[in-house]
Amino acid sequence: MATLLLMIIYIAFISLGIPDSLFGTAWPAINQEFGLPVSAAGYVTFTISGCTIISSLVSAKVINKYGTGKVTAISVVMTSVALLGFSFSQNLAWFCLFAIPLGLGAGAVDSALNNYVALHYKSTHMNFLHCFYGIGVSLSPYLMSLALSEQNNWRGGYYTVFIIQSVIALIALFSLPIWKKANQNKQEAKDEVFKTVSIAYLFKLSSARAVWLILISSCAIEYTAGVWGSTFLVYTKGLSAESAAKSLTLYYVGMAAGRLLSGLLADKLTSWKLIHIGQSILVAAIVVLMLPLPTAVSAAALFLVGLGNAPIFPNLLHLTPKNFGKEISQSMMGAQMAVSYVGIALMPPLFGLLAQTLGVSMFPYYLMVLFAVMFLSMARLTAILKKQNSYD
């Protein structure tokens, strides 16, 4: 039963990745059709991120009341409805409207499934969980590109992805009896009732503040590299836009490979060792990006950025119940998701502003500053946990 439920969780996590990379792929066709400035995309992305943050912060109360299975099913249904709404939208206002259920659904399912896997499964499974997110985030741009090749039919792309998301929603709904059966054990059922604590309470914990800075930095590196890596190759290495886009694919391959390898090695290495190995690869890759080396080497360095950063986020999430206790793990998980989306929403646009003034060549130095924040916060966290005898 536990294995069947884990497969359902993996499938549900694909639904989390599907919408994340879809809007950016479709936006050039959307803004052309609607006659909007390129910057108008920010209204939609900030609405999604804002609702995701809100949803993450209240997730502990909602999950405690309705259970992980129901929250997951309802959340996937919400994101499915949002994708269908996007396919019929006639102006930016409608996109912003449907961005609300998309963000609310994403935040709830992210917090719910991450905490459930952290509580009930091994580190291996947490890493594989985020590999399935990678499947979703890679699949949707490909499907949208096929739709755009047919007279910029972005609506058809959204509708195709809506069908896939709806199938996952049906799986989530029909799996509710499996969730119930899996939790028949009284002790497991007890574990599902969490103590809800406020963000103010968590903020008082120095270990929580350190974890938040690590997650903000890791997510900021992930999304800044994804958004600006191609532009860096074009403006500093002289690649064509097409060649740079292909080179950036290596970055996403590195990210997927990193989480796959992390999952395979999790039975032999602790989560902390995987995190530290990832950090070592990451800083070496950023240093290589700083050097005036051939284009092929820079493209390989982007691959290593993805590879090194990949194990940090899922392994740190898996340590949440151990670092903070099972009782408040859901509240902490929701807070972690919220701060992660703050990094996602703010840090890539911030680099865009800096690039306008200082140039895109600042890209690796920006990544290094983010890494420095991560490294110092990691040192602070490990020192706190060692004092508490919680560091393994």
Contact at 8 Å (CB) between 198 and 332? no
Q: Give the span between the Cα atoms of 274 and 216, in whole angstroms.
A: 19
Tens digits of residue pLDDT in 120-157: 888 888 888 888 887 887 777 778 878 888 777 889 98
- Bigger pLDDT: 357 or 303? 303
Strand stretches in 177-322, DSSP E: none
For the chain, what are the domain ranges?
2-184, 199-387
Residue 217 tokens, joined = 């930095």
Structure confidence at residue 20 (pLDDT):
76
DSSP 37-92: -GGGHHHHHHHHHHHHHHHHHHHHHHHHHH-HHHHHHHHHHHHHHHHHHHHH--SH
Q: How many CB atoms lie within 10 A of CB 151?
A: 9
Contacts of 188 (CB under 8 A, 6+ apart): 120, 182
> In terms of pLDDT, which residue wins out, 142 or 289?
289
The pLDDT, as a whole number, for residue 337 is 86
List all residues 6 or more positions away from 56 whose beta carbon is below 8 Å from its beta carbon.
107, 108, 110, 111, 334, 335, 336, 337, 338, 341
List the one residue out of 353, 344, 352, 347 whose CA is nearest residue 103. Answer: 344
Packed helices 22-34 and 123-148: angle between N→C axes, nearest 10 degrees = 30
pLDDT at 189: 47
Rg (CA), the chain: 20
Please return the burial class of 304, using the count of CB atoms within 10 Å of its CB with bins 0-12, 13-18 and 19+: buried
Which pTM value belongs to this model? 0.79
Mean pLDDT computed over every residue of the chain: 86
pLDDT for 38 equals 62
- pLDDT value at 198 more than 90: no
Q: pLDDT tens for residues 147-196?
A: 888 777 889 989 999 999 999 999 999 999 988 887 665 444 444 556 77
Residue 310 gets which letter from DSSP? T
The stretch 212-227 carries a mean pLDDT of: 90
CA separation for the pair 105, 350 (Å, rounded): 26
Which residue type sits at 58?
Answer: V
Instruction: Indicate the angle between helix axes 154-174 and 22-34, nearest 10 degrees.
Output: 140
- C-beta of residue 143 within 8 angstroms of C-beta of residue 157: yes
Same fold across 2-184 and 199-387: yes
Specify the fold of 2-184: Growth Hormone; Chain: A; (1.20.1250)
CB 167 within 8 A of CB 88: no
Q: Which residue has the higher pLDDT, 302 or 241?
A: 302
Q: Is the model's pLDDT at 307 over the cut of 90?
A: yes
Question: Helix, strand, coil shares of the chain as percentages rounded to 5?
Answer: 85, 0, 15
pLDDT bin (cut points 50, 70, 90) of residue 209 is: very high
pLDDT of residue 378: 95
pLDDT value for 241? 57
pLDDT range class, residue 77, cuts 50, 70, 90: very high
User: Percentage of residues in the chain with pLDDT exceeding 70?
Assistant: 94
What pLDDT was estimated at residue 168? 94
Q: How far apart are CA 312 and CA 13, in angstroms?
A: 18
Mean pLDDT (whole number) for 321-346: 86
Taking the C-alpha atoms of residue 176 and residue 162, their distance in angstroms, rounded to an integer, is 21
325: left (phi over 0), alpha (psi -120 to 50) or beta: left
**C-alpha–C-alpha distance, residues 200 and 213, integer Å:** 16
- Say yes or no: domain 199-387 is CATH 1.20.1250.20: yes
